[in-house]
Amino acid sequence: MAQDIFDLFLALDFLENYLKIILKEISMKKRGRPFNSEIRQRIIEILAVIKRGYGYEIYKIYSKVFPKATMRSIYYHLRKGIDLGEIEVDEKVSEKGDFSWGSEAEKTYYKLGPNAKPKGNESLSKFLKKE
């Protein structure tokens, strides 16, 4: 009888420690920044409509349609989208001209990547068809 009670206490102690480990792992998974981003998703929606575009072009469309975001933030999310496979570099084009910084500018064109999941934004499509 005493051995059965002792075995029961050992089993309960084991379960308690096991549950602590599981709960700790669950709470650890919630830490850090989420992978999804509202700004990046909106960039994906823009690329789904225009098929390809360079950074400043995407920024101009974003600024007209969605709440204000900085150009720096747009470029950050383009790079992050590349890292996650949601956005791909289509091509880099060097354009000649008379720019304030010199005679040449390099434009990086972006397109949707294999991990992109556009949801379809009706108002964005209508807005871009007007322009």
Mean of the per-residue pLDDT values of the chain: 86
Structure tokens at 100: 């304030």
Task: Write out pLDDT tens, residues 51-107.
Answer: 999 999 999 999 998 888 999 999 999 999 999 999 999 999 998 988 888 899 899
pLDDT at 46: 93
Task: Give the other-Cβ count within 10 Å of 49's Cβ.
Answer: 17
Task: Give the other-Cβ count within 10 Å of 42's Cβ.
Answer: 21
Domain extents for the chain? 1-32, 38-130
- Fold (CATH) for 38-130: Arc Repressor Mutant, subunit A (1.10.10)
Instruction: Phi first, then psi: give them for residue 68, nearest 5 degrees.
Output: -55, 135
Note whether 56 and 105 are within 8 A (CB). Answer: no
Q: Give yes or no for residue 28 having a pLDDT over 70.
A: no
pLDDT at 68: 86
Contacts of 66 (CB under 8 A, 6+ apart): 42
Please compute the mean of the pLDDT values over residues 21-35 and round it to a whole number: 69
